[in-house]
Amino acid sequence: MVLLAISTFTELRDDIREIVHKNIAKSFHVGMISTFVMHFDDENSWKLIEHLKKIFTDTAKYNGEETEFYCVELVCDIEERKYRNETPHRLTQKPSKRNIEFSRMDIETTMEHHRIISNEDEIKRLDAKKYLKIDNTNLSAIDVAKIINEAFKLKHI
């Protein structure tokens, strides 16, 4: 029964993600940042990113425009990931993390069964205009944002 619930949740999450991406793509916003845990050893993860990217490129082509796809890979030590999942802010913002035992087990299981760090040059498959890999184990979210902003020369609006 739990597998059915997880499968249903995954489908719902993916449907919502697609709807959000389609609406942002049509809205003429300057850009969008999406985050998720990538399973580099799972073809479905690659297909998801390629599908979400295609939503933006197809919409831009339809509107006679071009779009740029940038990719940031965040790498973090497993102990730091567990710690962050238990911080008050994360627990307030993400109800799924409130079952701390399950959350810890989920991180460990994911790391045991999937490769969540890319191999050298693997990201080239996504044809990203710019790519950045950051080990954020000892960095704050603000520091990571500054690194990304500087590397990609993003404009503040």
Strand stretches in 33-141, DSSP E: 70-75, 130-135
What's the whole-model pTM score?
A: 0.81
The per-residue pLDDT for range 11-41, each reduced to its tens digit, is: 888 888 888 888 888 886 777 777 888 999 9
The whole-number pLDDT of residue 7 equals 63
Q: What percent of the residues of the chain are helix, what percent strand, and what percent coil, each to the nearest 5?
A: 60, 10, 35
What residue numbers bound the domain in which 87 lies? 2-152
Residue 99 located in a structural domain: yes
Question: Does residue 1 have a pLDDT over 90?
Answer: no
Q: Is 19 a member of any domain?
A: yes
In a domain, 133, yes or no: yes
Token pair recorded at residue 157 = 């609006």
In a domain, 123, yes or no: yes
Assigned domain for 9 exists: yes
The count of other CB atoms within 10 Å of the CB of residue 34 is: 12
Mean of pLDDT values over 106-120 = 91
Q: 87, 109, 110: which is closest to 100 by C-alpha?
A: 87
In a domain, 157, yes or no: no
- Looking at the domain assignment, is residue 16 inside a domain? yes
Please state the domain count of the chain: 1
